Amino acid sequence: MPLQTVEPQRLYRQIAEQLRQLMASGEFALGSRLPAERDLAVQLGVSRPSVREALIALEVEGMIEVRTGSGIYVRQNSTAKPIAAPAELDDNTPANWGPLEVMSARILVEAEVAALAATHAKKADLKAIKNGLQQMKLEAARDEVPRQGDEAFHEAIAQACGNSVLLDTVQRYWMARNGPLFERLGDYFEHPASWQTAIAEHQEVMHAIEARDSSAARKAMQKHLKLAHKRYSASWRRAPAR
């Protein structure tokens, strides 16, 4: 059964389903190594980020295993019902959104949110933004993933922008951020060095908002989220023990 071209409008679940079927049929045998991420993207006619999202979904289901420095291997090729069958998932549930697709959307939306915040932020908003950043620093100092502070920081900026629809949108991004696919992706690509880099990027955003410089706030947020997307798209590294 050869790989079939995936329509551009289809996202990671359709890719995962096609790979799942190939494993179930024995095309990718138990214990065998899958083609490289780049090769899968070419054969399927999709982007590498979409392939990465599909592979993360299959790993969460227990279908594959990522071995750093070696490749991605089939762990299960039976016809047993997967943990999260695509047909049973609701595309409108943020926890099921593709992580890298979410990051791409955030680059567009949150850059403008930051620009608006620079214009509309009140004193209490600036304090909330600063508190979020401080919480990130405290969490990182305890060798914890600074996720709560990160969420508080971005939500405070969305609150400051003065648009309730944009606030709701950013909150839904964070519902996605706390989903299983994003969590697993973070296991690979979040580490102390990346946290410190992200904190410095957040500092730039905060300074621009405090300075009431909309253009600088937009650029600082774009820079931060583009670099975050790049970090999640880097080469696979060893995941921590579970």
Beta bridge partners, 74, equal 64
Q: What average pLDDT does the chain have? A: 87
Cα–Cα distances in angstroms (integers) from residue 42 to residues 46, 63, 212, 221, 232, in the given order: 7, 22, 45, 31, 20
- For 10-38, letters b (16+ CB in 10 Å) and e give ebbbbbbbbbbebbbeeebeeeeebbebe
Q: Please count the residues of the chain.
A: 242
Can you give the pLDDT at residue 96?
A: 84
Q: Residue 140 corresponds to which tokens in the numbers above?
A: 């990182």
Is 70 exceeded by the pLDDT of residue 147?
yes
Provide the pLDDT confidence category of residue 77 given band limits of 50, 70 and 90.
low
Provide the pLDDT confidence category of residue 164 given band limits of 50, 70 and 90.
very high
Distance CA 230, CA 197 (A): 13
Beta bridge partners, 73, equal 33, 65
Cα end-to-end distance, the chain, whole Å: 35
